[in-house]
Amino acid sequence: MTVSAWEAFWLIVRREMRLSFRRPEQLLQPLVFFLIVTTLFPLGLSLQLSLLRDIAPGVLWVSALLSALLSLDFLFKSDADDGTLEQLALSGHALTVIVAAKTLAHWLVTGVALVLVSPIVGTALGIPLGAFATMLVSLALGTLTLSWLGAIGAGLTIGLRRGNVLLSLIVLPLATPLLIFGAAATERAISGTSPVGALYFLAALCVFTCTLAPFAAAAALRITLE
Amino acid sequence: MNMSNALCVENVHVWRGDRHVLQGVSTQVHRGELLHISGPNGTGKTTLLRVVSGLLRPEQGSVTWLGQSIASHRTEYQAVLAYAAHEPALKGDLTALENLRFSVGLKRRSKPQELRGALERTGVAACADLPARVLSAGQRRRVSLARVVAMQASVWLLDEPYANLDAAGSELVSGLLADHVTAGGLALVVAHRELALTCDVRRLELNS
């Protein structure tokens, strides 16, 4: 009896989630990095709440991008190293489905976790409670988009030694629109103006990458598998 | 000769950088037949197996299964294919049984008892619930063979299946191969040793 693409998708998501929870340090490292970097800024700058509020959106978003980048290296690398990526590629399912499942699972364990701890960081940076909803939504959209962009970069760099530096060089420039609109949305929510425009842009970027990145990442993987 | 009943490799050329690794390799394997690929190190045995699996596209030449190109009928071909690379391809953090469940589960719906049965067949039933990282190299090889068995595929591509195995393990591999081929399956096996099998064995010697 053959297995449908949908069943294969969820089987891979479950496999990835189980693997992540067996290796909690892989989950915790980017989160702790996010918490530490964001607390370093107030310590290094000033404890004036008004100044903190001004820089909070930028600090929050730059730290989120860097911490998400830390976790991207795990996306395909361990599967490529132990040979399971070849088994997945020969499983009879499109690489696009495999890539989409792995990336979604990656976001569920890294992006969602980052969104969940962001209220702690928000409080530390003096972001008012009223801006939390915008911050959470923008980070959720931003981290998902970043996971898709990262999948392309990770697919291209798994075959390389020291590929993680190149991965940052590929992904960070692509992530600049996220930083601009994400920080703008949070900043507007803090100042009490409507963040809807920036959120729409983030949502558009998210839809754009969700639909096209799986194909690009699958093509990248196909090249590196050869 | 019935062309559609075979796996055909025709005039395959593969370059690795400047190296011309496979120089016009042609062969055919029929159902109920085993092809033993041998040759010195670095002559492209694994490369040939990867070409036949479809992981590597040859620069020139083609591979066909039942008369159809494996590149254009990828899904159908992969459904009948079981490939065991030189590395056992197991996730260290998953148990042997979970490893089987996730990789066999992508090919066909299987019950846990079937997977346990496959592990029993390869002599590692006792390791079913242990994480793969605590298993020895030989045990991991046996788990990867159990995966090939559990996939119930008709085309087996095995790269050095005898590596890391003790005498009993080697006999087990020979038994599995003989059973598979006698039941009408076909197998391509890369091995440095002589294969003492009861079934039809053809030999392909690759030279540099």
> For B184-194, how does the pLDDT look when each residue is reduced to its tens digit (9 = 90+)?
999 999 998 88
Summarised one tens digit per residue, pLDDT across range B7-35 is 999 999 999 888 898 999 999 999 999 99
Q: Are residues B30 and B13 in the same domain?
A: yes
- Tell the burial category of B117 from Cβ atoms under 10 Å away from its Cβ (0-12, 13-18, 19+): middle
Per-residue pLDDT band at B1 (split at 50, 70, 90): very low
Q: How far apart are CA A142 and CA B18, in angstroms?
A: 43
pLDDT of A1: 63
Do B69 and B28 fall within a single domain? Answer: yes
Residue B208 binned pLDDT confidence (cut-offs 50, 70, 90) = low
Same domain assignment for residues B88 and B144: yes
**Chain B: residue whose CA lies nearest to A222:** B55
**B91/B58 same-domain check:** no
pLDDT band at A52 (very low <50, low <70, confident <90, very high): confident
pLDDT of A29: 92
| CB of B79 less than 8 A from some CB of A | yes
> Is the residue at B141 inside a domain?
yes
Please report the pLDDT score of residue B3 as a whole number. Answer: 52
**Residue A226 to residue B90, Cβ atoms within 8 A:** no
Cα–Cα distance measured from residue A7 to residue A97, given in angstroms and rounded to the nearest whole number: 10
Question: B188: helix, coil or strand?
Answer: strand
Total-model pTM: 0.91
Q: In the structure encoding, which two tokens stand for residue B31, read together?
A: 């159902």
What is the predicted pLDDT for the residue at B4? 55
* Residue B180 falls inside a structural domain: no
Q: In this structure, are B100 and B139 located in the same domain?
A: yes
Chain A residues closer than 8 Å to B88 by CB: 83
Chain B CB within 8 Å of residue A1 CB: yes
Q: Does B177 reside within a domain?
A: no
Alpha-carbon distance of A201 to A113, in angstroms, equals 23
Kindly state whether residues B25 and B46 are assigned to the same domain: yes
Is a pLDDT exceeding 60 seen at residue B89?
Answer: yes
What are the chain A neighbours of B53 within 8 Å (beta carbons)? Answer: 90
Same domain, B114 and B134: yes
The domain in which residue A82 lies consists of 5-225
Specify whether B67 is located in the same domain as B1.
yes
> Hey, of B107, B141, B151, which one would you mutate to test binding to chain A, going by the most A CBs within 10 A of its CB?
B107
Read off the amino acid at residue B36.
Answer: H
User: From CA A52, how far away is CA A134, in angstroms rounded?
Assistant: 18
Contact assessment for residue A175 and residue A149, using Cβ atoms and an 8 Å cutoff? yes
Per-residue pLDDT tens for A178-222? 999 999 999 999 999 999 999 999 999 999 999 999 999 999 999
A86 and B85 within 8 Å at the Cβ level: the answer is yes
Q: A114-118, A133-137, B124-128, B198-202: lowest mean pLDDT where?
A: B198-202
B69, B135: one domain: no
pLDDT, mean of residues A7-18:
95
CB B184 within 8 A of CB B31: yes
Largest CA distance in chain A: 65
Kindly state whether residues B1 and B60 are assigned to the same domain. Answer: yes
Provide the residue range defining the domain that includes B13. Answer: 1-77+156-162+187-208
pLDDT for the residue B192: 87
Q: How many CB atoms lie within 10 A of CB B18?
A: 5
Looking at the structure of chain B, the number of domains it has is 2
Q: How confident is the prediction for chain A on average, in pLDDT?
A: 91
Could you tell me which residues are beta bridge partners of residue B37? B190, B204
In the structure, what pLDDT confidence band is assigned to residue B207 with cuts at 50, 70 and 90?
confident
Check: complex ipTM more than 0.95: no
Q: How many domains does chain A have?
A: 1
